[in-house]
Amino acid sequence: MDLSYSAEDIAFRDEVRAYLADNLPKHISDAVREGGEMGKAMIEEWHAILNRKGWLATIWPKEFGGPGWTPVQRHIFEEECCRAYSPRILPFGISMLGPVLQKFGTKEQQDHYLPRILDGTDWWCQGYSEPGAGSDLASLKTRAVREGDEWVINGQKTWTTLGQHADWIFCLCRTDPDAKQQQGISFILVDMKTPGIEVRPIKLIEGGHEVNEVFFTDVRVPYGNLVGEENKGWTIAKYLLTHERTGIAGVGFSMQALEEVKALARKTLRNGKPLIEDPLFAARIAQVEIDLEAMKITNLRMLFKAQSQGAPGPETSILKIKGTVIHQELKDLARRALGPAAAPFPGHVTDGNLMFGPAATAHNAARYFNNRKTSIFGGSNEIQRNILTKTMLEL
Amino acid sequence: MDFNLTEDRQMLADTLNRFLTEQYPVEHRNKVAYDAPYHDPSKWDALVELGTLFALAPEEAGGMGGAGFDIAVVFEALGRQITPEPVLGALMASRLLAAAGADQEALLSGASKYAVAFTELDAAYELDQIAAQATAKGDAYALSGRKSTVYGGQVADVFLVAAKLNGKLAVFQVNAADANVTGYGMMDGAGAAELLLDDTPATLLIEDGAAAMEDAINAGIVALCAEAVGAMDVTHAITVDYLKQRKQFGITIGKFQVLQHRAVDMLTEIEQSRSIVIKAAAELGGPDASRYASMAKNLIGRSARLIAEEAIQMHGGIAMTWEYPVSHYGKRLVMLDAQLGDTDYHLSRVMAGNAAA
Ligand SMILES: Cc1cc2nc3c(=O)[nH]c(=O)nc-3n(C[C@H](O)[C@H](O)[C@H](O)COP(=O)(O)OP(=O)(O)OC[C@H]3O[C@@H](n4cnc5c(N)ncnc54)[C@H](O)[C@@H]3O)c2cc1C
Render pLDDT for B293-327 as a digit per residue (tens, 0 to 9).
999 999 999 999 999 999 999 999 999 999 999 99
In a mutagenesis test of the A interface, which of B119, B344, B345 is the best target, namely the one with the most A β-carbons within 10 Å? B344
Question: What proportion of chain B, given as a percentage, has pLDDT over 70?
Answer: 100
pLDDT at A243: 66
pLDDT at B352: 97
In chain A, the number of structural domains is 3
Asked if the model's pLDDT at residue A360 lies above 70, the reply is no
pLDDT reading at B271 higher than 60: yes
Who's near B271: CB < 8 A, 6+ residues apart? none
Whether residue A238 is contained in a domain is answered as no
Cα→Cα distances B205→A183, B61, B90, B141, B197, Å: 76, 15, 16, 11, 17
Same domain, A260 and A386: yes
Do A209 and A136 share a structural domain?
A: yes
Chain B: residue whose CA lies nearest to A348 = B184
Compute how many other C-beta atoms are within 10 angstroms of the C-beta atom of residue B286.
12
Query: Going by CATH, does the domain composed of B212-356 fall within 3.40.50.800?
Result: no
Of the residues B305, B320, B331, the best mutation for testing chain A's interface (the one with the most A CB atoms within 10 Å of its CB) is: B320
Is A305 inside any structural domain? Answer: yes
Which atom of ligand 1 approaches the CA of B258 most closely?
43
Cα(A128) to centroid of ligand 1, in Å? 11
Identify which of A136, A272, A341 has the shortest CB distance to residue B149: A341
Q: What is the A376 CA–ligand 1 centroid distance (Å)? A: 5
Q: Are residues A328 and A270 in the same domain?
A: yes
Confidence tier at A275 by pLDDT (50, 70, 90): very high
* Residue at A31 is within a domain: yes
Using the CB atoms, write b or e for A280-298: b if 16+ within 10 Å.
Answer: ebeebbeebbebbeebbeb
**Interface contact A259, partner B, CB < 8 A:** no
Distance CA A122, CA B241 (A): 42
Domain that holds residue A17: 7-89
CB contact under 8 A, B335 and A382: no
Last residue in a domain, options A201, A233, A265: A233
Question: What is the DSSP-derived secondary structure letter of residue B176?
Answer: G
Q: What's the predicted TM-score (pTM) here?
A: 0.97
- Whose Cα sits closest to atom 11 in ligand 1? A128
Residues A35 and A164 in one domain: no
A278 in the same domain as A221: no
Q: pLDDT digit string (tens) for B156-169?
A: 999 999 999 999 99
- Give me the active site residues of A, please: 244
Domain match, A286 and A335 both: yes
What integer is the mean pLDDT of B31-53? Answer: 97
Which residues of A are less than 8 Å from B148 in CB distance? 340-341, 356
Mean pLDDT value across residues A240-250? 75
> How confident is the model over A237-262, as a mean pLDDT?
86
Q: Of the candidates A38, A67, A89, which is a domain's last residue?
A: A89
- pLDDT band at residue A84 under the 50/70/90 scheme: very high
Q: State the average pLDDT over residues B183-200.
A: 95
Residues of A in contact with B124 (CB under 8 A): 268, 270, 339-341
Higher pLDDT, B263 or A68: B263
Residue A358 clears pLDDT 60, i.e. is over it: no
Q: DSSP characters for B63-110?
A: -S--SHHHHHHHHHHHHHTT---SHHHHHHHHHHHHHHT---HHHHTT
The verdict on A278 and A371 lying in the same domain is yes
- Residue A94, domain member (yes or no): no
A8 inside 8 A of chain B by CB? no
pLDDT at A354: 63
| Mean pLDDT over each residue of chain B, to the nearest integer | 97
CATH code of the domain covering residue A260: 1.20.140.10
Contact at CB, B320 and A341, closer than 8 angstroms: no
Q: Are strands B158-165 and B168-175 parallel, antiparallel or unpaired?
A: antiparallel
The mean of the pLDDT values for chain A is: 93
Cβ B321–A134 below 8 Å, yes or no?
Answer: no
Which residues from chain B sit within 8 angstroms of residue A129, using beta carbons? 317
Closest among B37, B42, B19 to B190, alpha carbons compared: B37
Residue B255 at interface with chain A, using a CB cutoff of 8 Å: no
In the stretch 122-141 of chain B, residues with CB closer than 8 A to chain A read 122, 124-126, 129
Q: What is the pLDDT of residue A246?
A: 62
- Same domain, residue pair A268 and A185: no
Residue A260 sits in the same domain as residue A379 = yes
> Which of B121, B182, B334 is opposite residue A341, by nearest beta carbon?
B121
- State the average pLDDT over residues A372-379: 95
A386 found inside a domain: yes
The CATH class of B114-208 is mainly beta
Of the residues A185, A208, A233, which one is the last residue of a structural domain?
Answer: A233
Model pLDDT for residues B117-159, shown as the tens digit of each residue:
999 999 999 999 999 999 999 889 999 999 999 999 999 999 9
The residue among A263, A260, A276 whose CA lies nearest residue A85 is: A260
pLDDT exceeds 80 at position A369:
yes
Residue B154 and residue B225: Cα distance in Å, rounded?
Answer: 23
Contact call for B322 and A204, based on CB within 8 A = yes
Q: How far apart are CA A118 and CA A116, in angstroms?
A: 5
**Through-space distance between the first and last CA atoms of chain A, rounded to whole angstroms:** 32
- CATH architecture for residues B7-108: Orthogonal Bundle (1.10)
Does a structural domain hold residue A105?
no
Contact A354 B258 (CB under 8 A): no
Using the Cβ of B330 and the Cβ atoms of chain A, whether some distance falls under 8 Å is answered with yes
Q: Name residues 135-154 of chain A within 8 A of B (Cβ).
A: 135-136, 139
Ligand 1 mean position to B315 CA, how many Å?
A: 8
**CATH number of residue A220's parent domain:** 2.40.110.10
Q: Which of residues 219-258 of A touch B (CB under 8 A)?
A: none
In the predicted model, is pLDDT for residue A161 greater than 70?
yes
Percent over 90 (pLDDT), chain A:
81
Inform me whether the pLDDT recorded for A350 exceeds 70. no
CA distance B132 to B120: 8
Whole-number Å distance, alpha carbon A114 to ligand 1 midpoint, is 29
Residue A118: inside a domain = no
All structural domains of chain B with their residue ranges: 7-108, 114-208, 212-356
Q: Name the least confident of A122-126, A237-241, B23-27, B104-108.
A: A237-241
Q: Crossing angle for the helix pair B257-283 and B68-80, nearest 10 degrees?
A: 150
The arithmetic mean of pLDDT across residues A118-144, rounded, is: 97
pLDDT at A351 over 60: no
Does A50 reside within a domain? yes
Cβ-Cβ contacts under 8 Å for A361 (sequence gap 6 or more): A264, A338, A341, A342
Beta bridge partners of B188: none
Q: What is the pLDDT of residues A277-298, one digit of tens each?
A: 999 999 999 999 999 999 999 9
Is some CB atom of chain A closer than 8 A to the CB atom of B344?
yes
